[in-house]
A and B are shown apart, each in its own frame.
Chain A
Amino acid sequence: MPLEAINVSFRYKSGPWILRDLNLSILPGEIVGLTGPSGCGKTTLARLLAAFERPEAGRITLDGQPLPASGYCPVQLISQHPEQAVNPRWQMLDTLREGYIPDESLLLALGINNEWLKRWPNELSAGELQRFCVARALGPGTRYLLADEMTTMLDAVTQAQIWQAVLRVAAERRLGMLVTSHDEKLIQRICHRMIDLANAS
């Protein structure tokens, strides 16, 4: 039942290869850390796994099948820049309910204030927006969660708050996770195993 990258190669247009013959497998319930220097393709790999990009060679499969081309994607990506991941012309309530209707307990766990629901994205800080992006990605159809520097822009208290909520949901529903971070301590704390992308492809 894994999420797999099989012999994946990728480059943007005719630029230099970013990933070559990469193989990766994540099992349900497994939390995998992904590290490597800036520019080595961590974000690109996450975008490939969530079907935001197509590999030039190789395949991305879930349970041996390609990811569905339409509808709610079972692989959800949470990006480093929440302000670029929400529609600036939607109020936060609409963004929150884009894929499903999250329950109150999740909003409480993520520290989402009810007054924020009527706000526009430019009226919230990056940390506040990121809480919405996390809630939005935890729909019932989600089986894998890719956290690309999910809490890099946040203070330690907010980081712990968001991670504890996500880890609890991931454990309850046996979600597989890929966690990208420059924070070695964070990776050591939450991940079952670690991949160094500089040596992987």
Chain B
Amino acid sequence: MLMTKEAVRPLLEVSGLSVSFTQYTGGLRQKTIQAIVDLSVSVRPGEMLAIVGGSGSGKSLLAHAILGILPGNACVDGRMIYAGEHLTPVRQATLRGREIALIPQSVNFLDPLMRVGAQVRSSSLNGNGAAVQREIFSRYHLAAGTEQLFPFQLSGGMARRVLVATAAAGNARLIIADEPTPGLHSAIVRETLAHLRELSTAGRAVMLITHDITAALETADRIAVFYAGSTVETAPVSDFCGEGELLRHPYSKALWRALPQNGFRPLSGSQPSVDDLPQGCLFAPRCPFASPDCAAVQPELRPLRGGETRCHHAA
């Protein structure tokens, strides 16, 4: 690439996204559950952004919100800009599956009654689908006979390759991979991530959603850390090093230090539940540096040392 990554305009920019769900609690009484509080992320062409955070931090909901496939009782607010224009529900419907592709979590997302070769061909929208599919299968080391198989005949590793191939076969400019490597052997994890990396090197924007921070660090350019439905930090991968002193938010530091190879140090307590969020900083109840103003006022996401953080005390 001639331009540096910073000079390229983001392909997708999400800012201040919130998602809430209306639920019936009995009879005609309703309550609103705030699942995503305030998420902001952006990803550029040629870049791989990893999104890490615990379960319930809003990672998968973000993917669904971008694709416009949230259930009917969801209420979405905030700003999503794709290729310079607002991402409206009408635009989402035309873009998803074409310009924006999703690599789902599990082989269960493949059609069980359709041969995998045909499924991959169906996502290639122009030209010779069969040729594209065969070229991708050979690149991903899937034997020629694989295209005739049904999903249940694939091993875990082959299923991963087919799922990635489905996204690679189309011309999607933005690829969202939602937990593409859950509980897989490390060799398969590395291979899947290498394929994703290849796609971003070829100029596509890749968003990798994962709870596996080690895997994210090995492949991504930048990492966004989510906590309880808000972005608490975005940082270049190189900041995750040493004792985590380059990181900006206490939760990112805690994540880094909790890794088995980095001290295995836990935090007490648990992530606040979506129907009982604290008034101020969402991390304050577990934060070793919390002060009275942390409990009172939710901090804003602000730029800091080449990244962003949502903390009153970060410097």
Q: Which residues of A contact B (CB under 8 A)?
A: 37-39, 80, 108, 111-113, 115, 125-128, 131, 149, 152-161, 163-164, 182-186, 188-190
Contact = CB atoms under 8 A, between A and B. Distances in A.
10 contacts: A111-B269, A111-B270, A152-B182, A153-B55, A153-B183, A155-B213, A156-B211, A163-B264, A185-B260, A188-B260
Contact of B185 (A115, A158, A182, A185): A182
B214 A127 contact: no
B: contact size bracket: 35 or more
Contacts of B259: 156, 160, 185
A154 B54 contact: yes
Interface in B26-53: 52-53
Nearest to A164: B266
Contact of B211 (A111, A154, A164): A154
Overall SS of chain B's interface: loop
A184 B155 contact: no
B258 interface: yes
Contacts of B270: 111-113, 128, 131, 158
Contact of B214 (A131, A163, A185): A185
Contacts, number: 98
Interface string B155-184: 111000000000000000000000000111
B103 to A, nearest CB: 18
Contacts of B182: 152-153
Interface string B49-93: 000111111000000000000000000000000000000000000
B138 interface: no
B265 interface: yes
A152 B183 contact: yes
Nearest to A165: B266
A126 B55 contact: yes
Contacts of A125: 55-56
A157 B186 contact: no
Given A112-B270, A127-B55, A161-B267, 7 more contacts: A37-B185, A126-B55, A128-B270, A154-B211, A155-B53, A157-B255, A184-B186
A38 B54 contact: no
A125 B275 CA distance: 13
B268 A111 contact: yes
B264 A38 contact: no
Contacts of A189: 260-261, 264
A112 B189 CA distance: 31
Contacts of B265: 160
Contacts of B255: 155-157
Contacts of A38: 155-157, 184-185, 188
B213 A80 contact: no
A9 B251 CA distance: 47
Nearest to A36: B185
Contacts of B57: 155
Contacts of B188: 38
B269 A156 contact: no
B6 interface: no
A128 B272 CA distance: 11
A164 B264 contact: yes
A28 B264 CA distance: 24
A48 B256 CA distance: 36
A108 B211 CA distance: 24
Contact of B54 (A131, A152, A155, A184): A155
B152 to A, nearest CB: 14
